[in-house]
Structure 1
Amino acid sequence: MDEKLEALKKYNLWNGNSYNLGLKRKSYTNKINSFIGNNLVKVLIGQRRSGKSYILRQVAANLVSSHGVDPANILYINKEYLEFDFIADYKDLESIYRLYRDTINPTGRVYLFMDEIQYIEGWERFVNSHSQDFAEECELFISGSNSKMLSSELATLLSGRYVEFHIFPYSFEEYIQLQGKSADRSSYIDFLKKGGLPELYNLPTEESQKQYVASVKDTILLRDIVQRKTIRDVKLLDDVFIYLVNNASNLLSITNIVNFFASKKRKTTYDTISNYIGFIEEAFLAYKTERYNIKGKDVVAGNCKYYLNDLAFKNYLYPGFAYGLGYLLENAVYLELLRSGYTVYTGTIKDKEVDFVATKGDRVIYLQCTYMLEDEKTIEREYGALEAITDSYEKYVVSLDEIKLPSRNGIRHIQGWDLFSFLLP
């Protein structure tokens, strides 16, 4: 029991301890802080190593510094730490919670932070019980790296009693804040060529960064997928991920992927590929984007696109394939739309394709992405697709041109490093 208590003391703000808070990610913490003071469970989801732990600790530290909460009223548990291996299920979690209350004796509302909670069997029973406990008030903040596991349990037991925050790796705005750079073409291209995994910026060499990205990918595939799913061919799972990385932003179908592996003398089935891609999505490594008929205003079944959760996987692991800055830009624009809370589709209008149809509430935005508007053919291709749309919603072309072009038929030109400001309400 003493070892368990020592583990708690080591990782909590008691006895004058402090946290390494990293880069202050106010775009997330401000949203989370606005929900403090009620019984809603605050749920942080996102890919492993995207910064969820730092954000949880920033929220906890802010409770002390800005809200006057006694550090004794904050309990932080990270299931990834070896010291917490003894917490296997909800009963173990309840036992350590009781130890905390009996030993530390907090007065009033307790703020409980549980990181990577999906590794605790039956965790949802603990969360459901304590989020509703009026005798011992407890406000819960939890994080996890598996979308399906969290959403199914939460929807079943906590319907209407939780609020979800999707955490992504660093945005361009966070990148320039961290690096002390200006928002311009040069810094944006540097960002596109690196990616946003936070730990990358603590590593001194490109080789160490490459090894880190590889370890993140392997950990997600092996720990978050292989250990939790029925995976008969681990090598095929890895190869499917590689295929998605190298074909991000291209229209794909499961049948085409099966045929690709068949051409390489790899036997597989439609169901296997579909399941493996689904598992990759659940771990937040990639996102599926459906096609949307702009004129008919409905989703089109069949081919779809996939985008990566971070460009580092392409930049560090598979740079030898043809994948220019234009494709990196398109993926980066997609992620910025998701960060800003938009639902995103690939648009189709007549025989033309629109890179993104983004919706948020009543707002609808159409966007085309291209590396450079360097010749008349490119300009006609990018603007022509948007000009085919007859409604009056916002239309933009995003590129990396040094010079901002004038509007054309109501279609505005955005330089990639300025995109964020256009997505604000």
Structure 2
Amino acid sequence: MNEKIALLRRYNFWGSDSIDLGYKRSTYVDNIAGYIGSKLIRVLVGQRRSGKSYILRQIAGELIDSGINPNNILFINKEFTDLEFLKNYKDLDEVIKAYKKELNPVGKIYIFIDEIQMIDGWEKVVNSYSQDYSESYELFISGSNSKMLSGELATLLSGRYISLEVFPFSYQEYLGITQQQCGRQSYSDYMSSGGLPELFMLNKPELKRNYVSAIKDTVLLRDIIQRYNVRDAKLLEDIFAFLVNNASNLVSIANIVNFFKSQGRKTSYDAVSNYIGYIEDAFLIHKCDRYNIKGKDIMSGNAKYYINDLAYKNYLYPGYGYGYGYLAENLVYLELKRTGYNVYVGSLRNKEVDFIAQKADRTIYLQSTYMLTDEATVEREYSALKAIDDNFEKVVISLDEITMPLNEGIRHIKAWELDKIL
């Protein structure tokens, strides 16, 4: 047996029923399943440890359940040290050919490659096999960098791929894996923990803290520092900490530069801008631009940044002052993005609207707050929406257990029921 294929065998379904498929993430699996049978390359992108590997395995499992011979499925996970010999596209092509020779699959072949950005020139192999008309292949790939489908690569694969961003567990998935009931208590628990899938295999806070720290270190080192030859690793990590602790606040690059200068740290606008871009590319944080509601255009300058998972805040930087309202706002942002909306911070004269969410021909204005505790809070949250003079949907979201009555056409939604209206 080919030595490399022997290494791959332990990670594949060939004669094995012991592959861990994890918690079923039906939304992603069903979405991808809709494209099976086409020549399109299926691409999953998202932060490391957000669950892409499990989703790919679940798709493979679905194929097998539908009658596909396991020998017709090749699964390659570049993160495993056993596969360090896979360095470039030539190595990848050699492995695929060795697999075909060893297992002699009959009919269509399904190729899954996880963390494909770690293979130099991978696009050459993916493009070649996806468009091979002498034999039939379907390709499913994943990556942890948002730029993996940009520039020349997007041109090379133009019109021949679909991309899906994978987020950590949603609140509904959290309920499924923890077997809790939908409601304020479980939502608060979710908000105080996080949605990184492997967190739920750990039962002690210290283990969870170490795990989250290890993810952060791995992403910063392997996906940013090594990839971009970052010179000041300490500055990179400090910028990440700043963004985590200022999530849901309007900030600018100039603000961040001035903050570090006030701490006696010398840095430049360009360095901070580049480092933030790298952190975004690795899916650790998301930038939410301001949008002029009256002028109908994106505004430069200040923006908000949201964490890809609240575990970074809860386990790594819990000592910094950070109200529940900011945590709830971060979760609302993630749910909007998870369900496919383009999201902006709304600006209308001297008022701010937390979110403008747009998808196809639907636009929703949303205000997020922890609790509508008094008349002043109600006035603050509703007044910004009342100032908007168009007829798009307007919603206030909070953790109140009682749904407030309709207020001049503005609905009130409990945070844990947000998914029902999206």
Tell me by how many angstroms 1:372 deviates: 0.5
Compute the TM-score of the two structures, normalised by the length of structure 2.
0.99
Q: Distance in 1 between matches of 2:166 and 2:153?
A: 17
Structure 2 residue 174 is matched with structure 1 residue 175: yes
Q: Distance in 2 between matches of 1:16 and 1:248?
A: 45
Alignment map for 1:12-411 (pairs within 5 Å): 12-66=12-66, 68-411=67-410
Amino acid at match of 1:356: F
Larger deviation: 35-44 or 153-162? 153-162
Amino acid at match of 1:405: M
Q: Distance in 1 between matches of 2:308 and 2:264?
A: 30
Please list every run of 5 or more consecutive structure 2 residues that lacks an aligned counterpart in the other structure: none
Amino acid at match of 2:105: P
Q: Deviations over 1:145-198 (max 9, x none)?
A: 001133335412100000001000000000001111111000000000001000
Q: Distance in 2 between matches of 1:321 and 1:12?
A: 44
Q: CA RMSD in A?
A: 0.9
Give the fraction of aligned pairs with identical amino acids, expressed as a percent: 59
Q: Distance in 2 between matches of 1:297 and 1:334?
A: 21
Larger deviation: 363-372 or 154-163? 154-163
Tell me by how many angstroms 1:419 deviates: 0.3
SS at match of 2:300: strand
Amino acid at match of 2:78: K
Larger deviation: 226-235 or 38-47? 226-235
**Conserved 8 A contact 1:251-1:304:** yes
Q: Distance in 2 between matches of 1:15 and 1:201?
A: 29
Q: Deviations over 1:59-82 (max 9, x none)?
A: 00100102x111110000000011
Q: Distance in 2 between matches of 1:268 and 1:301?
A: 22
Q: Distance in 2 between matches of 1:76 and 1:97?
A: 10
Tell me by how many angstroms 1:244 deviates: 0.1
Q: Deviations over 1:308-356 (max 9, x none)?
A: 0000000000011111111000000000000000000000112100000
Tell me by how many angstroms 1:16 deviates: 3.0
Q: Distance in 2 between matches of 1:378 and 1:154?
A: 49
Q: Distance in 2 between matches of 1:153 and 1:56?
A: 26
Amino acid at match of 2:133: F
Q: Distance in 1 between matches of 2:376 and 2:229?
A: 49
**Conserved 8 A contact 1:398-1:416:** yes
SS at match of 2:150: helix
Q: Distance in 1 between matches of 2:108 and 2:245?
A: 49
SS at match of 2:12: coil
SS at match of 2:409: coil
**Conserved 8 A contact 1:41-1:142:** yes
Q: Distance in 2 between matches of 1:321 and 1:388?
A: 34
Q: Deviations over 1:110-166 (max 9, x none)?
A: 000000000000000000100000112110000000011333354121000000010
Amino acid at match of 2:3: E
SS at match of 1:371: coil
Amino acid at match of 1:59: I
**Conserved 8 A contact 1:118-1:150:** no
SS at match of 2:27: helix
Q: Distance in 1 between matches of 2:275 and 2:199?
A: 27
Q: Distance in 2 between matches of 1:83 and 1:17?
A: 21
Q: Distance in 2 between matches of 1:199 and 1:126?
A: 31
SS at match of 1:174: helix
Tell me by how many angstroms 1:10 deviates: 1.0
What is the number of residues matched between the two proteins? 422
Q: Distance in 1 between matches of 2:191 and 2:213?
A: 18
Q: Deviations over 1:368-421 (max 9, x none)?
A: 011110011110000000000010100000000111110100000011000000
Tell me by how many angstroms 1:19 deviates: 1.7
SS at match of 2:192: helix
Q: Distance in 1 between matches of 2:21 and 2:403?
A: 38
**Conserved 8 A contact 2:307-2:330:** yes
Q: Distance in 1 between matches of 2:273 and 2:94?
A: 40
**Conserved 8 A contact 2:2-2:98:** no
